[in-house]
Structure formats: structure tokens, C-alpha cells
Chain A
Amino acid sequence: MRLTLRCRVTLSFGFGLLVVTSVLAFATWNLASGYMLRQREASATRQAEVNVRLVEKSLSSPGLDELLTGLTTGPDSSILVLSPDGHVTAGRKVEPSQLPAGLVEHPPARERIAVDGLPMLAVALPVAGNAVYIELFPLQQLNRTFGFLSAVLIAGTIGSALLGAALGSWASKRALKPLAELNSAAGRIAGGDLRARLPDQDDPDLAALAAKFNSTAHALEQRALRDARFASDVSHELRSPLTTMVNAGAVLRRRREHLPGTAGTALELLTSEVDRFARMVVDLLEISRADQTDDPPPEEIALDALVRNVIATRAPVPLELEPAVVLGDRRRLDRVLTNLLDNAERHAGGAVLVSVRARGAKVRLEVEDAGPGVPEQLREVIFERFARGVMAGSRGDDTGSGLGLALVREHVHRLGGRVWVEDRSPRGSRFVVEMVLRSSDG
């Protein structure tokens, strides 16, 4: 999987700082440790040289042991004096065999060695004749300093790498903020909110992008508005001739008995189609109006009472109503329920149950029927405009406008809710409108 840009910037910042600081730390380490070691070696050598002069004077006297003991500087240091007749040691016990041969055989020499696991600096100096003076200086103190130094350097390196990563993350977040805004604005546009725009940008690099995006969004919005206006204008222009046609049709229908046979059938066809045409235009106007936002301010509506009132004007349907108050536009809710009931009548022989149920913070208005149900693959399609006819079970004498469910979806969308259709057992379908519950004290 490819890493996100932000992730990559973070990593490269972190890695970059890690490299730089580790180089610096390495150099510091080398310089500091080398310097300290050299200092220690120099002082050890100086001390050993002083000691050698003292030893030289009493090499063959019996007080050598005592002198050597006096010369040792601490419990961990040792002094050996090797002569062809044997050797004398003082301080910490060390056998000549533990010492490297080169040191013993070719004085003067200097070497860092480990004796019994302890780090030591061994300084070998020739003493008058062919004896060798070897002094071992403990290096623990120095090693502890080195340990501390290296710990500080490593911690510093890791710390700066983390700081680099944090810096990278912050910088990329800041740099990508306009992109995140672009993303959210584009998402809103894709979701249908054509008024989404990017905020003005100060940065000249981003200003061009924002301006371009905004002008594109504006053009899109204008175009959507033009389309809606076109639909509205067309429907509007159709109204006057339709008024004439519908009323002339009504006059003719009243005189149906004077037109027997073929002419009568043709009249029947004509008037029913004119009626359907009129309904379609009314629905088209409504849906093009639904696209616009000239809603009155939302009011509190008792959903249960509204359902009861709407049902009271129609064929009776069993009701299961819980008290629920929603915020919205009454006309829209009326249309939603009426269209769902019309739809049930048209395709499923009428609704068999209408219910209002509060579910947590939401309320569901459900219209159930016992018809053939809606196949899985059509459950989205039926809410689209002019989707009429996709249903296998639709009636031949269907007089709907093909906009009923599209209007339902449009209105529900405007009411801030959602609508869907699901299976009802044992048969039929259930249209569910879910909205935000205002209160349930109805």
C-alpha cells in the first residue's frame, strides 16, 4: 500500500534529521572520546615515568615492595616490575601472563587491555638494566564518562528524529490544509450541495486553485439552476393550454353518452391522458420547486396527528402511532405521506399499515403494503424521476406521473431525513421515512 503524502513527509523529515544528528553525534563522540583518552594516556604515562625514576633508585633494595605499594593510586591499579630474576607486584594482583607479550617484551609501550574483565590502561617502561616497569591504570571512570556521553548522544539523536517527524507532520498538515478543504468542498458538491465553496486563500499558489475550484463550482451551480429553471419554465408554459384541455375534456366527458362506440373510447383515452398530463406537469413544477429553497422557516409538527389527518381523508388504513414531534414544512410531509399512500394503492393494492415510531433520536414513518414487493436491484431506482414502468407488477392503467416517489425523496431530503424501501414479511414492502425526532411528548 502506498503511504499517504502526509505520512511520507513525516517520515522523510524524521529520517533526514536522524541522519544529520547521527553524523553530528558520531563526530562528537569520536572527537570527545579520543581527546579524553589521549589526556588520560598522557597523564598516566607522565605518572608512570615519575614512578619509574623512583623505582630505579631502589630496584635492588629490600624496600621495593613497600615503595611499589606506596606508588599504587587505588585499589584497582597495579604495578608490576619484571626483572630477569622474577617479578614484584603491588596493588591489585595481576600475573605477567595476563599481560600481552608485546607490552612486556618491547617497552616502552602503551596499550588498553582488559584484566579480569576490567578495562585498564597498561604503561610499560624499561627500568635500568633489563627490568620492565608496568603500571596498570583503571579506566572505569573514563568508561563511565564515555557511557554517559554516548547515552546523551543517542538520546539526542532519537529525540531530534522524533522532533523532525513531528515537525514534518505539522508542516505537511499545514501545507495540506487547503487540500483537505478542497476535499471536503468537493465532497459536499458531490453530495448535492452546489453552494459549497473554498475559503479565500492568502497564498498565491493556492489562491489560483481555490479560484478555479470556486468558479467551476459556480458554473456547475448555475447550470443546475438553469436546468431546473428550464424544467420549471416548460411546465409553466404548459399550464395554460393544459387548463383549456382539462376543462374542455371535462365538458366532453360529461357528454360521453352522446359519443357511442369508437369516438367514445377515443374520448375516454384522450381525457384520461390529458388528466395524466396535467398531473405530470403539476408534479414536475413541484419537483423543480423542490429543488429550490424557498421554504418557510421550519415549524414543529406532530407527526402522529398529521398522519391521522391525512388518513382521515382517504380509505381507512390500520394505524400504529406513537406521539412524535418533528421540525419541518407541513406541506412537504403531507406530500410525502400522500405520495407513499398513492404509490401503495397504485402498485400494491393499498397500504395495510401506517406507523409512526420513535427510535432513539430518530422517528420513523412507515407505510407497509402487501403487494409484490420491490426487488433488491430496483430499490434505489424507483426513487428516481420517471422510473415508472421499471416495476414488473405495475398496472396497465397506471395514471401516475412517474414523479411520485422522486418527489417523496426530494421532500424527505429537504426535511433532513432519508427514505428507503425494504422487505416486509411475509410479503409486500415497507417504505420507511426516517427523520430527526424533535420530542416525543406529542
Chain B
Amino acid sequence: MCVRVLLVEDDERIQQALSLALSDEGFTVDEAGSGEDALRRLETESFDVLLVDLTLPGVDGLEVVRTLRSRGDLPIIVVTARADARDMIAGLEAGADDYVTKPLMASVLAARIRALLRRRGPGRDAVRIGDLEIRPQEGLVRRAGERVHLTRTEFRLLLELAGAGGRIVTREQLLQKVWGYDYFGDTRLLDVHIRRLRRKIEANPDDPSLLLTVRGSGYRIGS
């Protein structure tokens, strides 16, 4: 199956070079030069992954991410030009699944995309944690009977933690299993996702009872 990638990038040369290199990696790449263009195309066509530069003229990358998140759970990787952590965190808070910084290499990007699209592990049985019900096969989560919309990445993160059955899962393990990072460094990626997940599944995100932080090592599911 061919993976369709929409690349939103205003620098034409980068667009071309990345398209060529990603095609070499086996992806079908479509290009959009602006946020408006991207949003228009996403309304009519379907893609597997969105790759969006955060600094775009007009409707900027953050806006694109926010709009798309409100529409569904299309995997999004943001490309941050600034090394500044704020951009990256803003992108993740807006709903992106992962981020890369320039200069980005197509091979790295390809690994990220594959990790994001990796199929869920063999169907597990439904898990119950407190008033939370996770059905891995159907890919849905219910809280007190009501459906909670999680992105694919949030779902995988929750599943990894639930699968450990209350044992501690280290940050490194989570980064590797969910994002395919074999070289960990940036745990802020994880921190933001944990925050996002808590907002969706915790009764009080500031005082979590399901998704607990274990200082100095990682996270675990509370019973």
C-alpha cells in the first residue's frame, strides 16, 4: 500500500528536494505551498500523513494543525525551523503527533512516518481502568460510557501504559514504543502528549488519578 504524504512547505526548493527524497523512500508526496492550499486539498482528498512547516505565510502551520485536529486524527508531523523549544511545544500542544527540526533528512522523516503509521499490535482484549474502558481492536476509548476521541498517538500511548498493568513504564520505553525513537533525547514530546492525554481522560487533569507520574523514572497507570 502506498502512503500518501501531504507536504506543506513554502520554500519551493525544500519542497522539491524533500519530495524527491521521500519518493525515494517509497512515499507518494503531494505538495502544498500554503496553509490555505493545504486545508483546501485536505477537504477533498485523503492523505495518510501531514507534514507541515510551522512558519508559513498566511494561515500558519499552527493554525493548520489546530483546524485538522478538530476534524479528525490524521497523523501530523510538524517541521520547526526555529530551534526554539516554544515553537515545538506549541505545535505539539496544537495536536501534532511528532516534530522534526530543520535541516531534516528524508531518511529520518521516513522513519518517523513509519513509526506513526505502524499498525497497532495484535488485538488485545478490552481493558478497564477506573471508569475508563479501552477497546484496542476497535480503537476506541470510553470514559463513563461516553466516547473519548484520542489521536492515534494518544491511543498508542495509553495502550502502552495500560498494557503494563500498573507497572512503571520509563520515558525511554514510551518514546521508543510509541514514536520509534531509538535515540531519546527530547522527553518534552512525551510530556506534551501526557498532558494532552490527561486532559482527555482525567476527571481533574491537574491532579491525575489514572495517569500517574513516577518522579525520576516515568509513568504508570493508577488503579
Instruction: Indicate whether B20 reaches chain A with its CB closer than 8 angstroms.
Output: yes
Given contacts A243-B17, A247-B21, A334-B185, 6 further A-B contacts (CB under 8 A): A239-B102, A243-B103, A248-B20, A250-B105, A300-B215, A310-B184
Instruction: Indicate whether B187 reaches chain A with its CB closer than 8 angstroms.
Output: yes
B217 near A247: Cβ-Cβ < 8 Å: no
Residues on the B chain within 8 Å of A239, using CB: 81, 102-103
Q: Decide yes or no: A251 and B184 within 8 Å by CB, A240-B11, A278-B103, A286-B83 being known contacts.
A: no
Closest CB of chain B to A240's CB: distance in Å?
6
A251 near B21: Cβ-Cβ < 8 Å: yes
Instruction: Indicate whether A211 reaches chain B with its CB closer than 8 angstroms.
Output: no
A273–B81 CA distance with the chains assembled, in angstroms? 22
A305 near B17: Cβ-Cβ < 8 Å: no
Residues on the B chain within 8 Å of A246, using CB: 17, 103-105
Residues on the A chain within 8 Å of B85, using CB: 294
Chain A 296-338 near chain B by CB (<8 Å), digits 1 or 0: 1001111001000110010000000000010000110011001
For A294, the closest partner residue in chain B by CB is B85
B17 near A248: Cβ-Cβ < 8 Å: yes
A36–B134 CA distance with the chains assembled, in angstroms? 113
A286–B18 CA distance with the chains assembled, in angstroms? 24
Query: How many Cβ-Cβ contacts under 8 Å join chain A to chain B?
Result: 87
Closest CB of chain B to A296's CB: distance in Å?
7
B106 near A250: Cβ-Cβ < 8 Å: yes
Residues on the B chain within 8 Å of A299, using CB: 215-216
A247 near B81: Cβ-Cβ < 8 Å: no
Q: Decide yes or no: A282 and B106 within 8 Å by CB, A302-B217, A331-B187 being known contacts.
A: no
Closest CB of chain B to A307's CB: distance in Å?
11
23 A-B residue pairs with Cβ-Cβ distance under 8 Å, sorted by A, are A236-B81, A236-B83, A239-B81, A239-B103, A240-B13, A240-B102, A243-B102, A244-B13, A245-B17, A245-B103, A246-B104, A246-B105, A247-B14, A247-B20, A250-B21, A250-B105, A285-B83, A286-B83, A302-B216, A310-B184, A313-B183, A330-B185, A334-B184
Instruction: Indicate whether A406 reaches chain B with its CB closer than 8 angstroms.
Output: no
A240–B13 CA distance with the chains assembled, in angstroms? 9
Q: Decide yes or no: A244 and B183 within 8 Å by CB, A239-B81, A286-B83 being known contacts.
A: no
For A281, the closest partner residue in chain B by CB is B103
Residues on the B chain within 8 Å of A338, using CB: 183
A397–B187 CA distance with the chains assembled, in angstroms? 33
Residues on the A chain within 8 Å of B172, using CB: 309
Closest CB of chain B to A62's CB: distance in Å?
120
Instruction: Indicate whether A289 reaches chain B with its CB closer than 8 angstroms.
Output: yes
B102 near A313: Cβ-Cβ < 8 Å: no
Residues on the A chain within 8 Å of B215, using CB: 299-300
Residues on the B chain within 8 Å of A250, using CB: 21, 24, 105-107
Instruction: Indicate whether A254 reaches chain B with its CB closer than 8 angstroms.
Output: yes
Instruction: Indicate whether B45 reaches chain A with its CB closer than 8 angstroms.
Output: no
Closest CB of chain A to B170's CB: distance in Å?
7
Within 8 A of A (CB), among B131-169: none
Instruction: Indicate whether A242 reaches chain B with its CB closer than 8 angstroms.
Output: yes
Closest CB of chain A to B107's CB: distance in Å?
7
A240 near B81: Cβ-Cβ < 8 Å: yes
Residues on the B chain within 8 Å of A242, using CB: 102-103
Instruction: Indicate whether B186 reaches chain A with its CB closer than 8 angstroms.
Output: yes
Closest CB of chain B to A418's CB: distance in Å?
22
Instruction: Indicate whether B82 reaches chain A with its CB closer than 8 angstroms.
Output: yes
Of the residues A247, A302, A309, A331, contact of B17 by C-beta under 8 Å? A247
A397–B19 CA distance with the chains assembled, in angstroms? 30
Within 8 A of A (CB), among B164-206: 170-172, 182-188
Q: Decide yes or no: A240 and B185 within 8 Å by CB, A247-B21, A289-B83, A300-B216 being known contacts.
A: no
A233–B21 CA distance with the chains assembled, in angstroms? 27
For A313, the closest partner residue in chain B by CB is B182
A298–B103 CA distance with the chains assembled, in angstroms? 28
Chain B 14-36 near chain A by CB (<8 Å), digits 1 or 0: 10111011001000000000000
Residues on the A chain within 8 Å of B18, using CB: 243, 247
B24 near A254: Cβ-Cβ < 8 Å: yes
A330 near B187: Cβ-Cβ < 8 Å: yes
B14 near A240: Cβ-Cβ < 8 Å: yes
Residues on the B chain within 8 Å of A334, using CB: 184-185
A193–B11 CA distance with the chains assembled, in angstroms? 40
Closest CB of chain A to B188's CB: distance in Å?
7
A248–B14 CA distance with the chains assembled, in angstroms? 9
User: Which residue among A246, A281, A296 has the maximum number of chain B CB atoms within 10 Å of its CB?
Assistant: A246
Q: Decide yes or no: A243 and B24 within 8 Å by CB, A281-B103, A309-B184 being known contacts.
A: no
Closest CB of chain A to B102's CB: distance in Å?
4
A236 near B14: Cβ-Cβ < 8 Å: no
A236–B186 CA distance with the chains assembled, in angstroms? 20
A254–B16 CA distance with the chains assembled, in angstroms? 16
Residues on the B chain within 8 Å of A296, using CB: 188
Closest CB of chain B to A271's CB: distance in Å?
11
User: Which residue among A247, A286, A289 has the maximum number of chain B CB atoms within 10 Å of its CB?
Assistant: A247
Residues on the B chain within 8 Å of A251, using CB: 17, 20-21, 24
A335 near B185: Cβ-Cβ < 8 Å: yes
Within 8 A of B (CB), among A173-214: none
Within 8 A of B (CB), among A238-268: 239-248, 250-251, 254
User: Which residue among A244, A286, A334 has the maximum number of chain B CB atoms within 10 Å of its CB?
Assistant: A244
For A335, the closest partner residue in chain B by CB is B185
Residues on the A chain within 8 Å of B13, using CB: 240-241, 244
For B20, the closest partner residue in chain A by CB is A251
User: Which residue among A232, A296, A309 has the maximum number of chain B CB atoms within 10 Å of its CB?
Assistant: A309
Closest CB of chain B to A363's CB: distance in Å?
14
B182 near A248: Cβ-Cβ < 8 Å: no
Residues on the B chain within 8 Å of A232, using CB: 83
Closest CB of chain B to A98's CB: distance in Å?
100
